[in-house]
Amino acid sequence: MFMRQIVIAGPTASGKTELALALAKQLHTVIISADSRQVYQGLTVGTAKPRGTWQDGRYLVEGVPYYLVDFLSPQARFDAAAFCTRAQSIVQNNPQKPCIFAGGTGMYLHAYFVGMDHLPPANPALRAELTAFAAAQGKQALHARLAQKDPVSAAQIPAGNIQRVMRALEICLLAGQPASALKSGAFFGQFPNDKALLVYLNWDKELLNKRIERRTRTMLQPMAQETRALLAAGAAADCPALKSLGYPQILQYINGQISQEDAFEKIVILTRQYAKRQRTWFNRYQNALKINLTAPADFDVAMLTEQIITAYGKK
């Protein structure tokens, strides 16, 4: 029987890391990153990875052990199943205090705390084939292939969402049956309060947009520098790490295809769209402790930390 955990969730640029660090210091515990891109080595600025140092096999941020960041090669792939396996091991090794999960990759958190269907893992060769097909024939043609194999999934996934279309088709081809037939309904489950206190940072949309713009402006040149460094170290331009949000636009910028201002504007738009998808995802959990932030002063870390500790203790 493991201790009830704490989850700090919210859209990108909402202050999850800062709050998680303050909470970890108060509770003398560890943090588990639930961010699908902070896992990569060399990918720091654009992923807002907390800056730390490796000591005795642990990544320490302000003295706090911060797990599942900065350990994976840019060429490697990481998914929800791998996250669950590693997170479970960390929790087992820290049974005396609640671990703090912090991040905005909703799929990872859902898979760990709610559960997900056991589906075939991504197949790089098949994914490359489907990517080439989509590039040559177009998104509609890829969607049509899915409709032939799995009309139920095709009806649920718009042709424009090429990653979901590709994944559903990949499952069909690998499993030999429709992806829709393999789904148990776990995807739609509620967050279990007995396993964790889910804290959601609910920023006013316009305030969050301003935070996104400010952060993007400050990280643009450092992102370009670390992208050049990754390429110089041998990372391929199309490796998994450099497909992270913002990096394809940085690649276009450093290759002279677009201007710095164009890169900034594109990254801001993409980040806003990502934040919208995150808000949609986390709105499914009706039992979350939703912290409404309608003014910059509302993000008072000391006050929020006490509020979370109090709410945690009431269970």
pLDDT in tens, 177-198: 888 887 766 667 789 999 999 9
CATH classification of 124-183, choosing from 1.10.20.140, 2.60.120.20, 3.30.1360.70, 2.130.10.10? 1.10.20.140
Question: At residue 315, does pLDDT exceed 70?
Answer: no
Specify the pTM.
Answer: 0.84
Beta-carbon contacts of 285 under 8 Å, excluding residues fewer than 6 positions away, are 190, 191, 198, 200
Alpha carbon 153 to chain centroid distance?
23
Tokens of 64: 């706090």
CB 255 within 8 A of CB 249: no
Span 49-94, pLDDT tens digits: 999 999 999 999 999 999 999 999 999 989 898 999 999 999 999 9
Query: Domain segments of the chain: what residues?
Result: 5-116+188-313, 124-183
Tally: H helices and E strands in the chain: 11, 8
Tell me if residue 22 falls in helix, strand or coil.
helix
Candidate CATH numbers 2.30.30.40, 3.30.360.10, 2.60.40.10, 3.40.50.300; the one for domain 5-116+188-313: 3.40.50.300
Task: Identify the sign of the CA torsion 32, 37, 38, 40.
Answer: positive
Q: Please tell me whether residue 192 adopts helix, strand or coil conformation.
A: coil
Q: What does pLDDT average to over the chain?
A: 93
Between CA 305 and CA 123 the distance in angstroms is 42
